[in-house]
């Protein structure tokens, strides 16, 4: 699991610049994507962005976007689910839960494809934290990440400031990065493993969606 901490300075366009190359890398090698998007992004926008470089058919067959608020729910690539809060569940909610498991199983078969390949799981942790509460969300993430490791998928987690599940999520991550925008532009810094800040730029020769990482010279200390 690679965890990216995006602070409040980072925009959706910044996330696209950093994440798009990896998403296209997976799709370009016939590996699928299962995504839980940040609150400010919609499944339709996600599809419109990626289909600038891949066909709509490839996206619709190998990408599934999990939605918990009914957004774009009629689209074939959207998996609509419901999350209950920390309370007792009714008989109807139990039936909804069984239906959700069925939908997720169908979505997993789609992103795995006929050859049952590994796939990328993109998770914005804010959604489940806000809907289900931090304690429930933390337990869900624990089991989800254990499953991801067992089946051999890659997980990219997106963490924003102020989430109650942040400590639990950080404890489960294998790699951890901090992303920030300041006067020099969008920067990426390694937390685990540690490395100095790099500026994230469109590749100067090929342009978007390729990116380059440019080391930011450290400021000289006091003499």
The pLDDT tens digits of the residues spanning 61-112 come to 999 999 988 777 789 999 988 655 555 455 555 555 567 678 888 899 999 9
How far is residue 159 from each of residues 2, 39, 56, 115, 188, measured CA to CA in Å? 11, 12, 29, 32, 14
Tokens representing 177?
């990065």
Cβ contact 211:203 at 8 Å: yes
pLDDT value at position 142? 93
Domains of the chain, by residue range, sit at: 2-215
* 53-61: long-range pairs with CB below 8 Å, 24+: 53/24, 53/209, 54/24, 54/27, 54/28, 58/27, 59/27, 61/110, 61/113
CATH topology of domain 2-215: Rossmann fold (3.40.50)
63-67 and 33-36 strand pairing? parallel
Q: Enumerate the H helices of the chain as residue ranges.
A: 12-28, 43-50, 56-62, 91-112, 126-132, 134-151, 166-172
pTM of the model: 0.88
Q: How confident is the model at residue 154 (pLDDT cuts 50, 70, 90)?
A: very high
Tokens representing 99?
């239906």
pLDDT value at position 88? 45
Average pLDDT, the chain: 89
- As a whole number of angstroms, the distance between CA 112 and CA 109 comes to 5
Q: How confident is the model at residue 223 (pLDDT cuts 50, 70, 90)?
A: low
């Amino acid at each position: 699991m690679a965890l990216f901490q995006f602070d409040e300075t980072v925009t959706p366009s910044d996330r696209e610049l950093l994440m798009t190359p990896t998403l296209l890398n997976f799709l370009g090698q016939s590996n699928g994507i299962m995504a839980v998007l940040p609150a400010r992004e919609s499944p339709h926008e996600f599809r419109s962005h990626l289909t600038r470089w891949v066909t709509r058919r490839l996206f619709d067959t190998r990408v599934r976007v999990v939605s918990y608020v009914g957004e774009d729910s009629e689209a074939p690539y959207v998996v609509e689910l419901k999350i209950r809060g920390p309370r007792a569940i009714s008989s109807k909610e139990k039936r909804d839960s069984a239906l959700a498991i069925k939908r997720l199983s169908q979505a997993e078969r789609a992103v795995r494809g006929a050859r049952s390949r590994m796939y990328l799981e993109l998770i914005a942790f804010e959604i489940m934290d806000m809907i289900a509460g931090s304690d429930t969300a933390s337990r869900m993430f624990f089991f989800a990440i254990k499953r991801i490791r067992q089946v051999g998928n890659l997980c990219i987690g997106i963490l924003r400031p102020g989430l109650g599940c942040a400590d639990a999520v950080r404890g489960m991550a294998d790699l951890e990065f901090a992303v920030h925008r300041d006067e020099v532009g969008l920067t990426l810094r390694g937390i685990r493993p540690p490395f100095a800040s790099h500026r994230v730029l469109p590749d100067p020769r090929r342009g978007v969606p390729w990116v380059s990482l440019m080391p930011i010279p450290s400021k000289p200390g006091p003499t």
